[in-house]
Structure 1
Amino acid sequence: MPKVHVFARDHINTDEIIPARHLTTDVESELAKYAMEDYDKDFVRRVQPGDIIVAGADFGCGSSREHAVWALRGAGVAAVIAPNFARIYYRNSINNGFLALECDGIVEAFQDGDPADLDLMGGTITNTRTGQQLTFVPVPQFALDVQQAGGWLEYMKANDQAALEAETLNAHSTQAGHGHPGQEEQHA
């Protein structure tokens, strides 16, 4: 069962997630060695694959570097759960197939090291030590598909471009006869 690592402070920025002095590579296993180093020097020794970070509001503020996502994913973190995220960090998470889940009251529900049960389909996280269960903002199916593929580029490689275009062009709004070229009007 995954454990939770609590970083309760609001506004943890990307320089704290992965310090700029380590941005000489884009290899996740290398970046992982320095994840959260300036916030908690022992984090990388404690974190195990599948563990979860619980953080305060505005997690990932600061610069737009994708390295912040790569470092945590490389360290084995399965998800970050916070009340909200800096917008660019949230988008980088989705694009890189990494879970950034928004959940009010998350920091108060966990202590460092608590075991957690994360149910993505049900939209819940449970502190199995206390039994407290919280609901998080559901992850759109598209984002889950990107996450399962390992990121946006991998998702695109795995899906035939023609099929994606056909899916888009055959969307309900283009079939509803809203005056789109090629739509024949039916006369009574």
Structure 2
Amino acid sequence: MQTVIEGRAYVLGDNVDTDQIIPAEYLTYNPAIPEEYKMFGKFALSGVPAGGAGLPKGHIPFHTPGGDEYVSPYKIIVGGKNFGCGSSREHAPIALAAAGIACVVAEFYARIFYRNSINGAYLVPIESEARLADRVCTGDTLRIDLAANELVNQTTGDVWKLRPLGDVVPIIEAGGIFEYAKSVGMLPAGK
């Protein structure tokens, strides 16, 4: 796991649900097939309604028009409260990871999205101590230092504390819950 994550921010609001992250109509793709995995990135956040409360001011598109249709130019999502609520769709963190997102920083998460992110080691779900969705702008360059538990907005110079990841770090570092279970002898290594 990277201890420092840098990249441009894409800012969303409160209650961004899994249907907004990856609408059900795209769940026919199989993330185990590389060509179909890319489609999750293409349709990531396509369910956030135009002009909706979850979108950044000015409806800035998640994918650059005329750019890469599968991978977003953004690497970090900054969300508000209850990020990833809705169904228990494991495809939601997969879609964000396929779109190039390394981590999501939110005030708090729906527990199932949080666990799916960690259990599959798809992305790092970080909780902020402050409400950053109102303080960071889409396009700002952020630097997250997981060891220091801080986020630096390199565009503005602002610095905020993040909550420590705690006991989930070894799971993410191992590459997910199954790889972690193998590494600590809970599952046979060959399975």
- Which position in structure 1 is the counterpart of 2:87? 63
Whichever residue aligns with residue 64 of structure 1, its letter is: S
Which one has a bigger Cα radius of gyration?
Answer: 1
Q: Name the SS for the 2:77 alignment partner.
A: strand
1:107-146 matched pairs, under 5 angstroms: 107-140=133-166, 142-146=167-171
Residue aligning to 2:179: 154
* TM norm structure 1: 0.77
User: Are the counterparts in 2 of residues 32 and 44 from structure 1 also a CA contact under 8 Å?
Assistant: no
CA contact (8 A) 1:6 1:54 kept: yes
Quickly say closer, same or farther: Cα 1:162–1:88, change in 2 above 3 A.
Answer: closer
> Which stretches in structure 1 are left out of the alignment for 5+ residues?
165-188
Deviation of 1:108 after TM superposition, in Å, equals: 2.2
- Work out whether residues 83 and 102 of structure 1, in 8 Å CA contact, stay in contact via their aligned partners in 2: yes
Deviates more, 1:86-95 or 1:109-118: 86-95
Name the Cα RMSD after superposition. 2.2
| 1:38 CA displacement | 2.1
Report if aligned partners of 1:17, 1:36 keep a CA contact under 8 Å in 2.
yes
Q: Percent identity?
A: 36
Structure 1 stretch displaced more, 117-126 or 146-155? 146-155
- Superposed, which structure 2 residues align to 1:59-98 within 5 Å? 59-97=83-121, 98=123
Aligned partners of 1:109 and 1:127 also within 8 Å: no
SS at match of 2:108: coil
More helix as a share of residues: 1
Aligned length: 160
CA deviation profile, 1:116-156 (whole Å, cap 9, x unmatched): 0100000000101111111111011x422222232112323
CA positional deviation for 1:163: 10
Pairwise CA distance, 1:72: 0.4
CA distance in structure 2 between the partners assigned to 1:56 and 1:162 by the alignment:
36
Counterpart of 1:14 (choices 13, 18, 24) is 18
- C-alpha separation in 1, matches of 2:160 and 2:14: 19
Residue 174 of structure 1 is matched in structure 2 by none
Provide the TM-score with structure 2 as the length reference: 0.76
Q: Name the structure 2 match of 1:4.
A: 9
Q: Give the structure 1 partner of residue 38 of structure 2.
A: 29
1:3-38, CA deviations, whole angstroms, 9 ceiling, x for partnerless residues? 00011x211100000000000123132311110012
Aligned letter for 1:149? A
- Tell me if the contact between 2:44 and 2:96 (Cα under 8 Å) persists in the aligned partners: yes
1:102 aligns with 2:127: yes
Structure 2 unaligned runs (5+)?
1-5, 32-36, 51-59, 65-70
Query: 1:131–1:12: structure 2 CA closer, same or farther, 3 Å change rule?
Result: same
Structure 1 stretches of 4+ with a deviation exceeding 4 A read none
Amino acid of the structure 2 residue aligned with 1:150? G
